[in-house]
């Protein structure tokens, strides 16, 4: 199955989704599956979609939490790094690597 074919299936199943979400979903689904042909089956496509959505939502929630931590960490005051702040930075890198893995299907450096 090609990307445009998957996009057509997804657009028919969820006409309410904007084109950018269809494109994002196609990328994530095609990266998550070993064989793109499995996505031609509507049940397998829906199962892959649910799994990808769960991973994406979890990573997005973690990302939002880390962004909030970073905003608090880098306020208007001068920065003097403490060990707990370094752990916050390391968590931010780890969460960012999880987001990259969703889109590239390759392990990130963190």
Asked if residues 48 and 32 have their Cβ atoms less than 8 Å apart, the reply is: yes
Q: Per-residue pLDDT averaged across 9-22, rounded? A: 92
The pLDDT value recorded for residue 7 is 93
Would you state the structure tokens that stand for residue 34, as one six-digit string? 């070993």
The pLDDT value recorded for residue 9 is 92
pLDDT in tens, 60-99: 888 888 888 777 777 666 667 777 777 877 888 888 787 7
d(C-alpha 50, C-alpha 46), whole Å: 6
Would you state the structure tokens that stand for residue 66, as one six-digit string? 């880390």
The pLDDT value recorded for residue 73 is 73
Provide the whole-model pTM.
Answer: 0.63
């Amino acid at each position: 199955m090609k990307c445009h074919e998957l996009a057509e299936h997804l657009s028919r199943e969820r006409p309410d989704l904007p084109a950018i979400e269809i494109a994002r979903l196609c990328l994530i689904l095609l990266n998550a599956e070993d064989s793109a042909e499995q996505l031609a089956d509507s049940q397998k496509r829906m199962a892959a979609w649910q799994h990808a959505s769960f991973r994406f939502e979890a990573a997005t929630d973690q990302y939002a939490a880390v962004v909030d931590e970073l905003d608090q960490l880098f306020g208007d005051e001068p920065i003097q790094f403490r060990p707990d702040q370094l752990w916050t930075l390391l968590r931010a890198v780890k969460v960012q690597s999880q987001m990259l893995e969703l889109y590239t299907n390759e392990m990130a450096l963190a």
